[in-house]
């Protein structure tokens, strides 16, 4: 063993990465600052320099999660071609897939903890936010989506996807139903159901 340097160098990033993994494998409850420190090979108090608080770590995770989710939805959208239904479906699928893979993280992202505060969260979720808004207004212009306040529609769409994710990750809806639920959702919103 080369004796590791006194300074880790990028502890913050290492902690976040390890935390994300643990979160995926053991959920929020299983996330311990001390354990993260151990895995990073640093002392138990080191993380404190980067995260004042356990909650601060969770917040940072949520922020990173929003960034990633936003990217993935954007990417799905960009690769979905011209057809509006296909775009909507692609976005929904990306969302639900993220939820399935990182259920605990999504829970964290939508936890009420950071509700009122004007932190970095809003900024991180902006990418996702605008992706959804674009999709909505585009659909409304094309007449594929019902008219009305686009903000409300956006909320409703996100709510539905969020709910589907919750149902799936809680096991209250069988995983195999995911595609069917997405199909129904798209149909519901685009009124293409006869």
Partner DNA sequence: CGACTATGTTGTCAATGGAAACACCTGATG
Partner DNA sequence: CATCAGGTGTTTCCATTGACAACATAGTCG
Q: Which residues bind DNA (CB under 7 A)?
A: 5-12, 31-35, 37, 42-46, 48-50, 52-55
Q: Choose the one of DNA, its own copies, none that binds residue 81, judging by a C-beta under 5 to 8 angstroms depending on kind.
A: none
Site for its own copies in 5-64 (CB under 8 A): 27
Q: How far is the CB of 39 from its own copies (least distance, A)?
A: 23
Q: Choose the one of DNA, its own copies, none that binds residue 6, judging by a C-beta under 5 to 8 angstroms depending on kind.
A: DNA
Question: CB-hemisphere CA count at 13 Å for 160?
Answer: 21
Single out the residue of 89, 171, 176, 186 in contact with its own copies (rule: CB under 8 A).
171
Contact 11, 50 (CB under 8 A): yes
Q: By rule CB under 8 A, what count of residues binds its own copies?
A: 39
Q: Compute the CA torsion angle 156, 159, 165, 170 (nearest 10 deg).
A: -130
Q: How far is the CB of 70 from DNA (least distance, A)?
A: 27
3, 11, 44, 64, 193 from 33: Cα distances, Å: 23, 13, 7, 18, 50
CA 9 to the chain's CA centroid: 28
41 or 146: CB nearest its own copies: 146
6 or 118: CB nearest DNA: 6
Distance, CA of 150 to CA of 179 (rounded, Å) = 25
59 or 72: CB nearest DNA: 59
Distance, CA of 192 to CA of 124 (rounded, Å) = 33
Site for its own copies in 62-121 (CB under 8 A): 103, 107, 110-112, 115-116
Nearest to 146 by CA among 87, 80, 193, 89: 193
Site for its own copies in 172-191 (CB under 8 A): 172-173, 177, 180-181, 184-185, 188-189, 191
Residue in this structure with the two tokens 């922020």, named with its chain if needed:
63
8 or 129: CB nearest its own copies: 129
């Amino acid at each position: 063993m080369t004796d590791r340097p006194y300074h880790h160098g990028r502890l913050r990033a290492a902690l976040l990465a390890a935390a994300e993994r643990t979160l995926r494998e053991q959920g929020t409850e299983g996330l311990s600052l001390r354990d993260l420190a151990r895995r990073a090979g640093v002392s138990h108090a080191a993380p404190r320099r980067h995260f004042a608080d356990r909650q601060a770590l969770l917040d940072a995770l949520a922020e990173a999660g929003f960034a990633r989710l936003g990217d993935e939805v954007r990417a799905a959208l960009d690769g979905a071609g011209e057809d509006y239904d296909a775009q909507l479906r692609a976005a929904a699928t990306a969302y639900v897939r993220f939820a399935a893979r990182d259920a605990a993280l999504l829970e964290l992202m939508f936890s009420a903890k950071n509700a009122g505060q004007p932190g970095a969260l809003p900024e991180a979720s902006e990418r996702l936010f605008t992706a959804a808004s674009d999709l909505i207004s585009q659909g409304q212009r094309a007449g594929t989506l019902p008219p009305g306040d686009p903000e409300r529609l956006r909320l409703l769409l996100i709510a539905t996807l969020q709910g589907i994710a919750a149902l799936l990750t809680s096991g209250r809806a069988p995983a195999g139903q995911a595609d069917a639920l997405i199909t129904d959702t798209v149909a519901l919103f685009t009124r293409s159901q006869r």
